[in-house]
Amino acid sequence: MSSIKANQLKGGMFILYKDAPHEVIKCEFYFPGKGSAFARTRLKNVKTGNVYEYTYKSSESVETVEVETLELQYLYADGDTYYFMNPRTYDQFEVKEWVFDGKQKYLLPEMKMFFNQYEGEIIGVRFPPKVSLRVTEAQDAVAGNTVNAAKKPVMTETGVEVFVPLFVKANETIIVDTATNEYVSRG
The Cα–Cα gap between 48 and 17 comes to 13
Cβ-based nearer residue to another protein, 31 or 76: 31
Using CB under 8 A as the binding rule, whether residue 53 contacts another protein is answered as yes
Q: Is 60 helix (H, G, I), strand (E, B) or coil?
A: coil
Using CB under 8 A as the binding rule, whether residue 76 contacts another protein is answered as no
Select the residue interacting with another protein from 48, 50, 55, 139 (CB under 8 A).
55
Cβ-based nearer residue to another protein, 53 or 161: 53
Select the residue interacting with another protein from 5, 42, 47, 57 (CB under 8 A).
57
Q: Enumerate residues 6+ apart whose C-beta is below 8 A from 88.
A: none
User: How many binding residues for another protein (CB under 8 A)?
Assistant: 23
Strand pairing partners for 172?
Answer: none
The Cα–Cα gap between 95 and 80 comes to 9
The Cα–Cα gap between 157 and 177 comes to 15
The Cα–Cα gap between 94 and 84 comes to 6
Q: Which stretch binds another protein (CB under 8 A): 33-41, 64-72, 138-146, 172-180?
A: 33-41
Select the residue interacting with another protein from 5, 7, 160, 181 (CB under 8 A).
7
Binding residues for another protein, rule: CB under 8 A, are 7, 18, 28-40, 53-57, 59-61
